[in-house]
Structure 1
Amino acid sequence: MAKLHILGALIALTPLAFAQPVETPNPVRTATLASDYVMRELGSRLVIKQGKTIQPDKASKNRYSAEQLAAVRTVFGSEDPFLVKRLPATGGRTNYSITLPANEYLADQNQVKWAQTSMQVGVAPNGSLTVNGSLPSLSFTDKGDRFDLENMRSSGTMQPDYWTGKSRGEIGKMRFTLASEEGDGFTVSDTHYSNEMKRQGQYYGGLSEITFGSFSTHDQSVDNVHLALRWRKLDASAMTGLKQEMDRMRGEGADDNAGQLLARYAPLLKRLVKLGAALDIEDLSGSYNGQKVVIKGSMALPNASDADFESGTAFVKKMAGRLEIAVPLPLLREIADAMARNDKSREKAKMTVEQMSAQIYEMMLGKALANNYARLDKNMLRTTIELKGGLLAINGNVTPIEPLLALFEDKNLPPADTEPPVAISMRDRGVEAAQLFALNGDGEGQLDMCERTAAGLGVEKDLQQAISWCTKAFDQEQYSAANVLGQLYLKGELEDAAIPGMVQKAADEGENWKAQYLMYLLLSEGKGVTRDKKKAQAYLQQAADQGFADAVKAMKEADANYQPPARNGSDDATSDAWSFPASVEAGYYVKREFRFDKDKHRKLSVSMDNLQAHEKWGPLLGVCVSAINPSDTACFKLIGERGESPSIHVDSDIRGPRSTQSTNEKWLDIKYKPGDKFDLVVYTRGKEVHFVVNGDDSLVQEVNFPVEVMMLNCSTADCKFDVQH
């Protein structure tokens, strides 16, 4: 709401704000970049920062590209187009005037022309602001299309908490004319707007109003259009988070793409709703030919949870709303007349306009009353629409909600996978898949073949093959391979003198619990190593403290009072989300794999924090999909960048089974902060894998393999995966 406190003044000093989007070519792009600079720079200079007062005569610390600064010089003739003057103090208040001199920017068939615009700003000792601004005229022409604005004035106050305050303003006329022979367009006259926000306890609340004296085209006019919205129970902590994100985006120059803006604001707005935010429509009204339609109502999502935001359908089912609508019967007749005049079947039916109008009127009124969708109240047709608990009632009659849900249904998204994630190991893939992975140099495949050939699991037992596969797996830091060889060595089935050294490396460097227990046995027996009971006991303690059952049993036999340290489990399949937190040291990598149902979508929340430094590996969080057998992988990734201002980039790519090289890399243009939470939906359609980030279907990869497995990866950072089910 605070933006409305100074919105009028911002527009008054932003005559280019009506230019086209940034993506359009020069010279419109030049004008738009200059407009964006004015909005961001003035906004930053007038925003109250914690414990500080504003200084509108000093440049902000916003970051601007060289292209944008060049555009500002082109349009305004200077990188600082504001004329800021400090005025005499009044009543302890520091006063400033801010002026943007009259000028015009002309290039090709585009022209922006504005009169001198001005703003007066007063800063009280407690940091509160008063703002008054005016813009006498503005015109913008683009290849014949023209927009004109006349006589804009605004004023407002803003308290140090940023949200509390009042604003009001008016615009004499806004006119848009198309470059056509008919000169089609529209005119909005006598616009008035106001906003007031107050804080009461832990909540903010307020009233926003806007009135259009008339909204007219060349032959039609709607008059006295009025909208009054009352905001209730806006949680103060959530509003503080919203302000911080607005400040951050203003400083960084975030893209104004609607989808990306929504992605940035969505988590904060969702939090507001979950904490009880509600909206009352105190009045939505307008008159046509003297007949006034009035709508009043309210909307909220009581006791909302994350699941209620998963889809438009879930959102509507949770919504509690009420609308009261009143339509004058003469207006219904006006609508019937307009329909009759434009009905081409009228002549064939040999009916006059009056006859067809009467027929249409009687049909509309009769159907509404006969089906009890409305009721007559003197000369008004009234109805009440209520939505609560997933039920829709019109004028007290419960009616099927499916047509309403269909409007919000995401037809592109397959059904949600509501089952807890099912882990898949190399053993689950089958012996043929394991052999293919092993032959392709995959360490996990080699470990599985090591275990299979050592025990005769699905293949013929072959200890020489076991040594070969186990050694290859061990060389790829699959330290469990040493456990397989160590057990065979203890049983006397293998005599290779290198095996005790492999077990010790697995115990020390790999911190492998079973290897630590095997070292306890080897040192206790003096088999292949010098017998050492003290070292043996130390290895036993390490294995037991990490929860290895055989080691715990041995420790309790030696010390009846021994209890292993409590361990926090990370898998929770009883709640609505399966959680996998991973804190991975620099240079290390962890991976979890699950079955993926290609006919359903899987929703996750992910975040990455505590970015660490390593000479070779950077901080990484990945959500990837692949086939059961060796295949490429399609990945969504968070990539961390350390430095003075650590940040996170989002991308997706395709990688080969054994390749660190990525192809078809796609990035989101936004930079995020470590710890930011991302809502991710993963699904397939045909040969495409979709990674939907914060509700924006922005990362799509084309694949040539069946999607059967989902992998969660983390390296050199703290990662958090919450898989919804």
Structure 2
Amino acid sequence: MNNTYTHLALAAMLLASPSAVANKSAPQADTAATAQAARPANPLNDAMLAMHREWQEKAGADAQLLQLLRNFPDNWSATTQAKLVTIFGTSEPLSVVRTQPAPGKEHFAVRQSGANVAAPNGQHYLFSPLLATFETSDKGRQLTASGDWKMLNITIGADNLLLLGLDHASVQRQASNGNWYGKSRNRMGLAQIAIAGSPTLRLEEIRFDTHHLRGKQFDELRYTGGVHKTSMAGVDIDDFRFGMRIVKFDGNGYAALKKNMARLQSQAGNGAQQATAMLEQVQQFTMKTINAGATIVIDELGASYRGHRASLKGQIGFNTLNERDVVRSESVADKLHIRLDIRLPLPLIQEISQVIGRHLGRSDARQIGDQLVSKLVADGYASIVKHELRTTLRLEQKKFSLNGKFFSQLPPPAKPSDDAAAAEERLVSPIKIAQRCPPFIYPADAPRSYATASFQVGTDGQARWASMVDSSGSAALDAAILTSVSACAWMPATYRGAAVAVTQLETFGDDPRARPAMP
């Protein structure tokens, strides 16, 4: 149900200060000091929250969405009206029109006026009208909702947040346990975040969908979405997509939790005691849900960079928790178990290595990336399949493994050192001597394909023990690659000033995005 409520309260929640939002759900302490501390820092927050408080008072402290809509105030107090006129130019910036198109059905049309407000504290808010509709049927047990918000622009000093084209649609049905089940669809045309001194982050065509399914014993929560294009500092990430599920979710327990939280919030008494009681309820629900087998399943998590797509799939769960575990975060981490299947295209690894190298001023960044891949493959921590580096990461009983091989411990942190000492300790990658590499002759009728060869560059600079770790699919092309690799001369790698032998990986392909291209 939260998805449909979001668009109705979006303006108030986004524009309210953090302390004011927190006070919306926290137990209220009946003291003048608390009221003063919670007072918003600008007149827009003040007006929005004053309106919200009066609405909540009429509908009831624990009122849900439909109760709020049915109990919209006929008018606001004189004090609140004065605040609204100052901001919106009208005492009625929010309207809720209720009609009954047929027996057992209700229709609500909600409109929040736009505003252009410069607050005394240096903040500036500009937003368009927010429109939403809610339609119930089956005596309020089914709800269809839609919402539209064209623009929100918030400037705080030199920082700016711009949101364009927010859109929501959902169809949900309330079950006997009080939970709402169904689907929601959320879209945003653009989100742009500009923070002084940092590159602007730009997200285009954002989507986020949810589906709450009810089962005989457990519920399932499904989340899917993505970003068409993410841009920052000249780097574009394309087609980010995610899909995940929470399986074996205790829906009945969640419904009971919400009822208990509402009961505790409505009780008069010491605010700290109420907060403690509410936290205990959440901890108990968390423990019971995890012990029932609730698991996060990652069906898809991936993105593309310059045409190369990286992906991850897997699941995250917990071993049995007890009451001591849920109050100690380190104990929860100890019970965590993870399995992630990771796929990274070799050209993508080379691209990323070059980007990192440019930022660090390293001309040998690509070779370092190749050496890392070579080391992972040679030691059995990963494999190369179809031009991808593939591995499975597991965490079980505080032990990490890659590709089935366990790490006894993480490498110790590097000790601080001056530049000269660091250069002495650093492995310097081998450098190909282009003048001593014969031209590559592409076999006739060979397919245009990626391929990866492994070889060792000896202390004498000669390449030896060449082999294919990822075949091109053509015996003739593989043979030509191995011949070319073996014929090249190199300046050997060095460590502490002495030549050392290292294993290299080299990816071949005629696509200009591949690095390196065919010689």
Equivalent residue runs for 1:191-270 within 5 Å: 191-244=206-259, 247=262, 265-270=282-287
Distance 1:3 1:403 in 2: 44
Q: Deviations 1:459-489 (Å, cap 9, x if unpaired)?
A: xxxxxxxxxxxxxxxxxxxxxxxxxxxxxxx
Tell me if structure 2 keeps the 8 A contact 1:17–1:32. no
Q: Is the 8 A contact 1:5 1:166 kept in 2?
A: no
CA distance in 2, matches of 1:37, 1:270: 38
Look up the match of 1:387. 395
State the partner residue of 2:376. 368
Q: Tell me: CA distance 1:26–1:185, structure 2 relative to 1, closer, same or farther (3 Å).
A: farther
Written as runs of structure 1 = structure 2, the 5 A alignment for 1:477-556 is none
Cα deviation 1:557-604 (Å, max 9, x = unaligned): xxxxxxxxxxxxxxxxxxxxxxxxxxxxxxxxxxxxxxxxxxxxxxxx
Inter-partner Cα distance in structure 2 for 1:43 and 1:218: 45
Quick check: 1:16–1:35 contact (8 Å CA) kept in 2? Answer: no
* Counterpart in the other structure of 2:159: 145
Cα separation, 2, equivalents of 1:221 and 1:39: 41
Question: Is residue 294 from structure 1 mapped to residue 311 from structure 2 by the alignment?
Answer: yes
Give the TM-score normalised by the residue count of structure 2: 0.63
Matches within 5 A, 1:259-338: 265-338=282-355
Q: In 1, distance between residues paired with 2:240 and 2:343?
A: 15
Whether the aligned pair in 1 keeps the contact of 2:261 and 2:278 (CA below 8 Å) is no
Contact in 1 for aligned 2:62/2:262 (Cα 8 Å): no
Task: Give SS of 1:270's match.
Answer: helix
**Cross-structure match for 1:4:** 3
**1:223–1:287 contact (8 Å) kept in structure 2:** yes
**CA spacing shift, 1:16–1:307, aligned 2, 3 Å:** closer
Contact conserved, 2:221 with 2:249, CA < 8 A, in 1? no
Structure 2 residue 144 is the aligned partner of structure 1 residue 134: no
- The reply on whether 1:357 has 2:377 as its aligned counterpart is no
Q: Which has the larger radius of gyration?
A: 1
The answer to whether 1:101 aligns with 2:113 is yes
Identity, % of aligned pairs?
Answer: 21
* Cα distance in 1 between the residues matched to 2:102 and 2:85: 35
Q: Secondary structure at the match of 2:19?
A: coil
- 1:297 CA drift (Å): 1.0
Tell me what 2:415 maps to. none
Q: Describe the SS at the equivalent of 2:212.
A: strand
Instruction: Tell me the amino acid that sits aligned with residue 273 of structure 1.
Output: I
Length-normalised TM-score, structure 1: 0.47
After superposition, the CA RMSD in angstroms is 4.1
Paired with 1:321 and 1:136, the residues of 2 have a C-alpha distance of: 40
**Aligned 8 A contact 2:147 2:169 in 1:** yes
C-alpha displacement of 1:234: 1.3
Q: Which amino acid aligns with 2:239?
A: N
Give SS of 2:97's match.
strand
Return the match for 1:85 from 70, 81, 97.
97
Q: Is the 8 A contact 1:139 1:149 kept in 2?
A: yes
Return the letter of the residue paired with 1:120. Answer: T
Distance 1:70 1:308, change over 3 A: farther
Judging changes above 3 Å, is the alpha-carbon distance between structure 1 residues 385 and 157 closer, same or farther for their aligned structure 2 residues? same
Written as runs of structure 1 = structure 2, the 5 A alignment for 1:13-162 is 14=11, 17=14, 20-22=17-19, 28-32=41-45, 54=67, 56-59=69-72, 75=87, 81-87=93-99, 89=101, 92-108=104-120, 109-127=122-140, 128-160=142-174, 161-162=178-179
Contact 1:119 1:132 in 2 (8 A): yes
State the alpha-carbon separation in 2 of the partners of residues 15 and 54 from structure 1.
18
Quick one: structure 1 residues 42 and 177, their matched pair in 2 at CA, closer, same or farther if it must change by over 3 Å? farther
CA distance in 2, matches of 1:401, 1:72: 60
> Shift in Å at residue 29 of structure 1?
4.9
| 8 Å contact from structure 1 (residues 10, 42) kept in 2 | no
Aligned length: 384
C-alpha change, 1:310 and 1:116, in structure 2 (3 Å) is closer
Change (3 A) 1:294 1:252: farther
Question: Which segments of 5 or more consecutive residues in structure 2 lack a partner in the other structure?
Answer: 21-36, 413-519
Paired with 2:266 and 2:91, the residues of 1 have a C-alpha distance of 16
* 2: CA distance, partners of 1:243 / 1:47: 13
Amino acid at match of 2:290: V
Structure 1 residues 28 and 321, CA, compared in 2 at 3 Å: closer, same or farther? same
Question: CA contact under 8 A between 1:122 and 1:129: conserved in structure 2?
Answer: yes
The structural deviation recorded for 1:296 is 0.8
**22-31 or 115-124, which deviates more:** 22-31
Alignment deviations for residues 311-362 of structure 1 (CA, whole Å, 9 cap, x no partner): 3443233223211111111111012112222334x4xxxxxx3xx1332122
Within 5 Å, which residues of 2 pair with 1:650-665? none
Q: Note closer, same or farther for the CA distance 1:151–1:276 as it changes in structure 2 (3 Å cut).
A: same
Match in the other structure for 1:165: 182
Q: Which letter maps to 1:373?
A: Y
What is the deviation of 1:244? 2.6
Letter in 2 for 1:21: P
* SS class of match (1:187): strand
Name the SS for the 1:140 alignment partner: strand
User: Contact between 1:178 and 1:185, CA under 8 Å: does it hold in 2?
Assistant: yes
Q: What residue is the counterpart of 2:23 in the other structure?
A: none
Q: What is the CA–CA distance in structure 1 between the aligned matches of 2:200 and 2:16, rounded to whole Å?
A: 17
Q: Secondary structure at the match of 2:240?
A: strand
Superposed CA offset, 1:159-202 (max 9, x none): 2233312110110111122346xx83211110111101011123
Tell me the residue number matched to 2:429: none
